[in-house]
Amino acid sequence: MNDLEKNLRAVQARIHAAAESVRRDPNGITLVAVSKTFSAENIIAAYELGVRHFGENRVEEAQAKIQKVKNQNPSAAITWHLVGHLQRRKTRDAVELFDVIHSVDSVALAQKINQRLAANKRIAILLEVNISGEQSKSGFAPEPRADFFAAVKEILNCQNLDAQGLMTIAPIVAQPPDARPYFRALRELRDELREKFPHCAWQHLSMGMTDDFEAAIAEGATMLRIGRAIFGERT
């Protein structure tokens, strides 16, 4: 068993244990292997071990890698996730490359993505929320609620966008359980959206990374964005 397989199996075991500890079905949690800075060969190796969801941070870096993976394995059933910040000038490439965009952080960006899509194509999006209020992070401010709900209403008017949930990045904390209040706040916000806009399922909470994913599972995460624990330290 190589390092990649050891890492992946260890992460999968931790996900199962964390889910079962709070009486959740592990099958309801999607592992998105974040492959930024790692090669197409690393992605293919992880795919051969059973990974089907991969996340990239930058459109430019992803372009060559995604094409290389497709060239080497045209039948690979991969769902590609954009998990990093998306600049509006990169939306044309993003909608061609990715199946899910986690980082929609403004009405203007949502509208730009909507414009770039062909009339017969829709794309899944998540709304990034700066739940901690840190100035270093992107995302919608959750307060005041009226402003946030007004922004969501505008985005839901974009007919080519399939709004599926929320995403956040927790702040750096001393211990992983200290992140739970931030994840809980995102879940509670998602629950409010379900009441306010019931025609959308709001099924996904993209939260939890290498250092805090077990805390995120405890608070209802449905998508985990894990890179370092699978692929190793980045250079």
- Interval 125-167: pLDDT, tens: 999 999 999 999 999 999 999 999 999 999 999 999 999 999 9
Percent of the chain whose predicted confidence (pLDDT) is above 90:
95
Q: Which helix (H) or strand (E) holds 194?
A: helix 180-196
Confidence of residue 119 (pLDDT cuts 50, 70, 90): confident
Report the run of H or E that residue 94 belongs to, with start and end.
helix 91-97
Q: How far apart are CA 140 and CA 218, in angstroms?
A: 23
Distances from the Cα of 161 to the Cαs of 100, 103, 123, 152, in angstroms?
Answer: 10, 13, 5, 12
Residue 83's nearest CA partner among 125, 41, 132 is 125
| pLDDT (0 to 100) of residue 1 | 61
For the chain, list the domains and their CATH numbers: 3-230 (3.20.20.10)
- The residues near 191 (Cβ < 8 Å, ≥ 6 apart) are none
**Which CA distances in Å does 110 have to 32, 97, 206?**
22, 16, 18
Supply the pLDDT for residue 201.
94
> Residue type at 216?
A
N-terminal to C-terminal alpha carbon distance within the chain? 23
Query: Model confidence over 190-220: pLDDT tens digits?
Result: 999 999 999 999 999 999 999 999 999 999 9
pTM of the model: 0.96
- Cα gap 156→133, rounded to integer Å: 24
Residue reference for tokens 């509208």? 111
